[in-house]
Amino acid sequence: MATTVFTDGNFKTEVLGAKEPVLVDFWAEWCGPCRMVGPIVEKLAQDYSGRLKVGKINVDENSETPAQYGVQGIPTIIFFKGGEEKKRIVGYQPEEKLKTAVDCVLTV
């Protein structure tokens, strides 16, 4: 499963209204660490297909949602479950750390 593109317009429906847990990657094209974490996020989308919705929101093209959630540095990954923020990771993190976070969110 590929990642979903989240926007200010579809965030409420796609993320907050999702039945499954959601990983949201807040990123920008010019951000080096964002480009490093991007392939890891894509892999997580495949590895957890059917159990976790995975998507990205470009902070340059969508300013309302990052402001609403206090995203000040990128990449920021926020996990949502039942429409609520459950976990937040700021900055580049290796795949194993992100997998541990996913597993934690899935078991809560």
Query: Would you name the residues annotated as active-site residues?
Result: 31, 34
Specify the pairing of strand 22-27 against strand 53-58.
parallel
Place of tokens 């993320």: 15
8 A C-beta contact, residue 16 and residue 9: no
Whole-number Cα distances in Å, 91 to 33, 74, 82, 88, 104: 7, 6, 24, 10, 19
